Amino acid sequence: MPFRESESDGVLRLTLDTPGSPVNVFNLATARQLCGILDNLDAARTRAVVFDTAKPDSFLNGVGLMLAHATRTRDDVMSAAEIPWSAYRAIYECPVPTFAVVQGSCFGCGVEFALSCDYRIAADTSVTQFYMTEVADYLFLPLFGSTWNLPETVGLESAIDLLLWGQRWDAATAMRNGLVDEVAPASELAAVAHAFATRTAGLPVPEPAAAAWGDAEELAVARTRQRIDALPPTYQPLYEQALELLMLGAKKSGTYREHQRRELEASAHSALSANGKAAYSFFYLRQMASQRATGGARTGSAVLSVGIRDTDDGDARTLARDFVQRRVPQLQTAHWDDAALRLVSAGSAHADAAAGSGAVRVCLRAGHCDAVGLGIYAPAYHRGGRLVELAGTVSDGDEDLARELARALQRLGLEVARTTPRAGTLSDRMLAAYWRPWLAFAGGGGGAHLLNATLRAAGFVRLPSHVIDDLGGEPLASLLAARLGHGVGSADVALEALADAGFGAEQDPSLLDAFALSMVEVCAEVREAREARDQTILDLIARELLDFPRHLCSLGCWLTVDRVRSALANGPACALAGQAAAMRAARFADEGREFYR
């Protein structure tokens, strides 16, 4: 059974442990068991219910995706959601106080589960993270009551940040924002939760209350509407609806059950939309890329000893120190000479095949530092970017260690792209391919407003100006100068011209065609030279680093042979992408082999 039951001092402890799975999943068996337990709960004997996890890396991830997408009609969604919906309702309406004791990832329906409880306690570990994947990753609305509970718990503004803008909160941030009531070290979590539950046992459960509503909330709504207006038009209705639901939830308009029905209707509509279906497909590509990095292992067992040499390189130092400060359970710092992994600065930027600018070199095992195997490259890490490229080859004997490292990085909440590049990191090459047509466009007198309008209409939320902000104008100009053969000065001038985030009404389809030609060149090269295991790795980089649009599923899905052929017929696009890219794209079109079938 998914839940293990135990009881002491009138506190019922339900420990979730999805059988045979590295993460907890709220599947039908879980929902049915929970309904059975809560329906038969004797409030005279059981005075509080505590939900915790047997898996330190996962409180609860996933139910909505498969449930909402393996459906064709609204009625299908309603029918598939019925039992899980009843379980969430049973928690919310439980007659005794309920506690979510969160340790590990708490994603999507996991946040909704925690919100359905009266109180939340979180472990202060790096793997404990709260993230609502629904809108931010998969363009569909949540369906288990979060738009009712969230504004009341964290206030409207923070609710918007979490649901619409995909903020990821660690335990401390969740505490600061009111999502959790207490934070405790992992070793004390069970005792703290039990003490909290015992204190509260038998007390009346908190009544639902409307969130505060005043000038601050009106301002938050106005600001959010402004931000929604700047989104690609195809995303705007979904975000508007998410905001409307949060506002209704904040004002406690109607009853919980009425709101849940409203939320479910809206969720069904979004999940069945073409955008929702396409965005959802990326889940599998992301999972595949993740499994490529770790060799399929999703639970790190070995303890890795890590030596860190301080460096002047800001990004490298930040990343290396995070290994220590964010307390990844699997990692222990060790003396430099004794460490299995040794992290050092990459040295000169772009000179190394295994590491680009701001990279951390990883030396596997003592004595091999001259023959660096891997580089950890996280170009936007200092701005909250989650992409980490683990680049380079290692001997077969060290492969397990490299996979453990990938797993440790994933436990930090990072997306790991494992690559074996021949020249520079694939992240840098993707960045250069992204920027090449834009620099040519700016060099020919093209302006930011036309480019931004074109990209926005295509579904890019983050525009070139945002990418400049993420990476820094100066490092980006150096990178582009090195990779594209421009002078740093001319790259700088072009970036400056494109640093404006405004957009006009006019669009230029040649720009998107040029983008397709430029990107297909690098994807085809990587495939041919086997510099990544498959296209999922490049798709992950494109999503995380370039914000490739969610409703197009992935770069590899979008770059079809037909699309490339059509782009090749566009003369101005070929000129913007450059002759080399156009020639490589023509070869790709001739070969006629798609990235995916």
Residues near another protein, by CB under 8 A: 19-23, 25, 27-28, 62, 65-67, 69-73, 76, 79-80, 277, 280-281, 283-285, 287-288, 291, 296, 534-536, 553, 557, 594-597
Q: Torsion angle, CA of 297/299/304/309, rounded to 10 degrees?
A: 90
* DSSP 8-state class, residue 398: G
For residues 277 and 350, which CB has a smaller minimum distance to another protein in the complex? 277
Q: Which two tokens stand for residue 279?
A: 């965005």
For residues 168 and 298, which CB has a smaller minimum distance to another protein in the complex? 298
For residues 19 and 485, which CB has a smaller minimum distance to another protein in the complex? 19
Tell me the closest approach of the beta carbon of residue 289 to another protein, in angstroms.
Answer: 9
Tell me the closest approach of the beta carbon of residue 296 to another protein, in angstroms.
Answer: 7
For residues 147 and 290, which CB has a smaller minimum distance to another protein in the complex? 290
Q: Is 389 exposed, middle or buried (0-12, 13-18, 19+ CB in 10 A)?
A: buried
Tell me the closest approach of the beta carbon of residue 60 to another protein, in angstroms.
Answer: 12
- Please give the Cα distance from 544 to 136 (Å, whole number): 12
For residues 316 and 540, which CB has a smaller minimum distance to another protein in the complex? 540
Nearest to 495 by CA among 514, 521, 467, 523: 467
Interacting residues of 81 by C-beta distance below 8 A, sequence separation 6+:
67, 68, 143, 264, 268
Nearest to 128 by CA among 101, 99, 105: 105
Phi/psi-derived region of residue 110, left when phi > 0, alpha when psi is between -120 and 50, beta in every other case: alpha
Tell me the closest approach of the beta carbon of residue 287 to another protein, in angstroms.
Answer: 3
Beta strands 58-61; 105-107: pairing state = parallel
Tell me the closest approach of the beta carbon of residue 62 to another protein, in angstroms.
Answer: 6
Amino acid letter for position 17: D
For residues 133 and 454, which CB has a smaller minimum distance to another protein in the complex? 133
For residues 144 and 435, which CB has a smaller minimum distance to another protein in the complex? 144
Q: Is 597 exposed, middle or buried (0-12, 13-18, 19+ CB in 10 A)?
A: exposed
- Please give the Cα distance from 542 to 282 (Å, whole number): 12
For residues 113 and 119, which CB has a smaller minimum distance to another protein in the complex? 113
* DSSP 8-state class, residue 244: H
Q: Is 238 exposed, middle or buried (0-12, 13-18, 19+ CB in 10 A)?
A: buried
Ordered alpha helix ranges (H), 547-593: 555-558, 561-568, 571-577, 579-591
Tell me the closest approach of the beta carbon of residue 162 to another protein, in angstroms.
Answer: 22
Which secondary structure element, helix H or strand E, spans residue 397, and what is its range?
A: none
For residues 27 and 173, which CB has a smaller minimum distance to another protein in the complex? 27
For residues 239 and 280, which CB has a smaller minimum distance to another protein in the complex? 280
Interacting residues of 390 by C-beta distance below 8 A, sequence separation 6+:
293, 374, 375, 376, 377, 402, 405, 406, 409, 416, 417, 418, 419
Tell me the closest approach of the beta carbon of residue 37 to another protein, in angstroms.
Answer: 21
Tell me the closest approach of the beta carbon of residue 271 to another protein, in angstroms.
Answer: 10
For residues 84 and 97, which CB has a smaller minimum distance to another protein in the complex? 84
Tell me the closest approach of the beta carbon of residue 310 to another protein, in angstroms.
Answer: 38
Tell me the closest approach of the beta carbon of residue 434 to another protein, in angstroms.
Answer: 23
Contact 146, 111 (CB under 8 A): yes
Contact 84, 143 (CB under 8 A): no
Contact 163, 142 (CB under 8 A): yes
Tell me the closest approach of the beta carbon of residue 553 to another protein, in angstroms.
Answer: 7
Contact 306, 405 (CB under 8 A): no
Tell me the closest approach of the beta carbon of residue 520 to another protein, in angstroms.
Answer: 17
For residues 281 and 393, which CB has a smaller minimum distance to another protein in the complex? 281
Tell me the closest approach of the beta carbon of residue 139 to another protein, in angstroms.
Answer: 13
* Per-residue exposure over 21-59, b if at least 16 CB sit within 10 Å of its own CB, e if not: eebbbbbeebbbbbbebbeebeeeebbbbbbbbebbbbb
For residues 34 and 477, which CB has a smaller minimum distance to another protein in the complex? 34
Beta strands 119-123; 415-419: pairing state = unpaired
- Please give the Cα distance from 111 to 26 (Å, whole number): 12
